[in-house]
């Protein structure tokens, strides 16, 4: 069984296509792994084994009938609980949506199902994708498979932890300020934020609509590329979807060649606040890329220092508006409807009871930033900073093909450590936020361990140049795994601290 769990998505799809193993066997093995370890990891809010096995059987039936299978047919996937899927509860990590069963699929859900991808269930997240640790989930905190006392990152910590605990070879997430990349970084997995508009937001519960970007999560760069290709593309149901061809990310991941590429190191991302081990692994990765024929140059993006501040005005402003839809009238929780209370009072009581502390903080900040008298100084200035950050990127991409930095300044912190210090929590997204503000694409790939915990290497590329992320990511991954004699997660699987996952000794 455990060799099916250790295999990547590309390998599993190949073996299912040749009939060497059935999609049902692959799905059953992953459901067994969830049953065995998820009490400890707590990655899933909801698992539907029956639905998953039925989807797997459908793939096996197609194969038996001689139909051609897609490149990910039969491969199991963990879905962040922000995507709607007909008949499966969607909470977005919030008590205010507890029990809601959506009557429709997100576009990405439709694409996954059409590709024969087997959805195992819905994964835990910070409430409405607000957080860097899953501690803001209305239900429970997910644990980092590398050290169960530590956070798995957030908001997509459930998806990342499912990958790192071998519960699923693929996952999807959404990235508004780093919610795919930071969890990938701290769990030793791969996470990609595509170009804004490259993946559809239809049927994805909205946090900050000008920033939210769905994207792929996996254990290898190639698997992420295969998933990227399945979920990306123009969607007429999302007005901000880009009507342009999806770059050939799979070819880029297979090509994995950085010879002659110009790679810019963002000078502003490093120094104070950055863990020495993180900076060390980052520097070593630069040397690896240089050894592979890339040219490394230092680049200054002076306004990136203001990105965090701009983000924590723009995002809460959009949050305060988007979360107005949770008004206790059409879906979700309703509190205080006693026949006497007015509709306003019921809204007040419901939202007071249904939202957690971080959602409330952001709604209040947004309401304040958008209120007359403060609008120009706060929201207006933040929008100007957004322009300056985009200009920094434009100037940098005149000189280099990609920009790189550590994904997040530290390795996984301890559960509880930053729970009551919002600013400290926000700093986890210091390096990831600029790409959300400018809308370009970015990825995190594992680049080693610091004090036994994973470190992520961030690659940023211009809008619609998502293929460059995969070229650089795959080149770095290929060289590092050959030096290590396997992927970073193989080290966890074979180590005493990963023994509880029971996936060791198979390769």
Partner 1 sequence: MALTPADVARLGELARVRLTEEELVHLAPQLDVILASVARVTEVAGADVPPTSHALPLTNVFRKDVVTESLPAEAVLAGAPSVEDGRFRVPRILTEDA
Question: SS3 sequence, 263-312?
Answer: EEEECCCCCCCCCHHHHHHHHHHHHHHHHCCCEEEEECCHHHHHHHHHHH
Exactly one of 236, 245, 485, 486 binds partner 1 (CB under 8 A); that residue is: 236
CB of 248 to partner 1, least distance (A): 22
Catalytic residue among 42, 80, 111, 122: 80
d(CA 135, CA 151): 8
Q: How many residues bind partner 1 (CB under 8 A)?
A: 72
Q: Say how far residue 383 (Cα) sits from the centre of its chain.
A: 25
Q: Which residue has the tokens 């590429």?
A: 261
Element spanning 321, H or E: helix 307-322
Site for partner 1 in 102-141 (CB under 8 A): 102-104
Smaller CB separation from partner 1, 106 or 491: 106
Smaller CB separation from partner 1, 148 or 341: 341
Question: How, if at all, do strands 295-299 and 213-218 pair?
Answer: unpaired
d(CA 246, CA 254): 16
424 binds partner 1 (CB under 8 A): no
Report whether 253 contacts 473 (CB < 8 A): yes
Q: Which residue has the tokens 């293929």?
A: 467
196 binds partner 1 (CB under 8 A): yes
For the question of residue 179 being annotated catalytic, the response is yes
202 binds partner 1 (CB under 8 A): no
Exactly one of 343, 394, 483, 486 binds partner 1 (CB under 8 A); that residue is: 343
384 binds partner 1 (CB under 8 A): yes
Smaller CB separation from partner 1, 222 or 346: 346
CB of 213 to partner 1, least distance (A): 10
Exactly one of 381, 479, 481, 506 binds partner 1 (CB under 8 A); that residue is: 381
- Choose the stretch contacting partner 1; rule: CB under 8 A; options: 8-16, 67-75, 377-385, 493-501: 377-385
Residue 258 C-beta-side C-alpha neighbours within 13 Å: 31
Residues 244-283: x where in contact with partner 1 by CB under 8 A, - otherwise, as a string = ----------------------------------------
289 binds partner 1 (CB under 8 A): no
Question: How, if at all, do strands 118-123 and 170-175 pair?
Answer: unpaired
For the question of residue 155 being annotated catalytic, the response is yes
Residues 24-62 as b/e (b if ≥16 CB within 10 A, e otherwise) read: bbbbbbbbbbbebbbeebbbbbbbbbebbbebbbbbbeb
Q: Which residue has the tokens 């007040």?
A: 348
- Choose the stretch contacting partner 1; rule: CB under 8 A; options: 147-155, 170-178, 306-314, 401-409: 306-314
Site for partner 1 in 86-105 (CB under 8 A): 100-104
d(CA 46, CA 118): 14
Residues 431-460: x where in contact with partner 1 by CB under 8 A, - otherwise, as a string = ------xxxx--------------------
For the question of residue 193 being annotated catalytic, the response is no
Nearest to 192 by CA among 421, 470, 419, 475: 470
CB of 395 to partner 1, least distance (A): 15
List active site positions.
Answer: 80, 155, 179
């Amino acid at each position: 069984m455990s060799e099916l769990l250790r295999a990547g998505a590309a390998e599993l799809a190949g073996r299912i296509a040749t009939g060497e193993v059935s999609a049902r066997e692959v799905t059953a093995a992953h459901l067994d792994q969830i049953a065995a370890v998820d009490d400890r990891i707590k990655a899933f809010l909801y698992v539907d084994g029956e639905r998953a096995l039925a989807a797997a059987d459908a793939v096996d039936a197609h194969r038996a009938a001689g139909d051609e299978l897609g490149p990910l047919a039969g491969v199991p996937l963990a879905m962040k609980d922000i995507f709607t899927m007909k008949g499966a509860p969607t909470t977005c990590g919030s008590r205010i949506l507890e029990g809601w069963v959506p009557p429709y699929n997100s576009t990405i859900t439709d694409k996954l199902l059409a590709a024969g991808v087997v959805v195992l269930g819905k994964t835990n997240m910070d409430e409405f994708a607000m957080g860097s640790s899953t501690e803001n989930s209305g239900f429970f905190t997910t644990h980092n498979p590398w050290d169960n006392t530590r956070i798995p990152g957030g908001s997509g910590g459930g998806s990342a932890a499912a990958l790192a605990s071998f519960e699923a070879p693929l996952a999807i997430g959404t990235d508004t300020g780093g919610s795919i990349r930071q969890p990938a970084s701290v769990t030793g997995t791969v996470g990609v934020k595509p170009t804004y508009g490259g993946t559809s937001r239809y049927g994805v519960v909205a946090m900050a609509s000008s920033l939210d970007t769905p994207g792929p999560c996996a254990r290898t760069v190639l698997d992420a590329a295969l998933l990227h290709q399945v979920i990306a593309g123009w969607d007429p149901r999302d007005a901000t979807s880009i009507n342009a061809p999806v770059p050939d990310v799979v070819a880029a991941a297979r090509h994995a060649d950085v010879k002659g590429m110009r790679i810019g190191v963002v000078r502003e991302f490093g120094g104070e606040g950055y863990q020495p081990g993180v900076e060390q692994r980052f520097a070593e990765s630069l040397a690896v890329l240089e050894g592979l024929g890339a040219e490394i140059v230092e680049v200054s993006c002076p306004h990136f220092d203001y990105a965090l501040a701009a983000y924590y005005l723009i995002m809460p402003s959009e949050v305060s508006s988007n979360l107005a839809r949770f008004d206790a009238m059409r879906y979700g929780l309703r509190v205080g409807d006693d026949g006497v209370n007015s509709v306003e009072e019921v809204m007040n009581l419901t939202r007071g009871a249904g939202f957690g502390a971080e959602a409330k903080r952001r709604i209040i900040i947004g309401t304040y930033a958008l209120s007359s008298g403060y609008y120009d100084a706060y929201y207006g200035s933040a929008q100007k900073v957004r322009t300056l950050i985009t200009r920094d990127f434009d100037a940098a991409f005149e000189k280099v093909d990609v920009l790189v930095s550590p994904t997040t300044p530290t390795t996984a912190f301890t559960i509880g450590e930053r729970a009551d210090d919002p600013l400290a929590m926000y700093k986890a997204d210091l390096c990831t936020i600029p790409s959300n503000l400018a809308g370009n694409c970015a990825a995190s790939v594992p680049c080693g361990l610091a004090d036994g915990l994973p470190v992520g290497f961030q690659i940023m590329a211009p809008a619609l140049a998502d293929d460059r992320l995969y070229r650089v990511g795959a080149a770095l991954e290929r060289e590092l795994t050959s030096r290590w004699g396997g992927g970073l997660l193989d080290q966890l699987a074979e180590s005493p601290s990963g023994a509880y996952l029971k996936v060791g000794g198979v390769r």
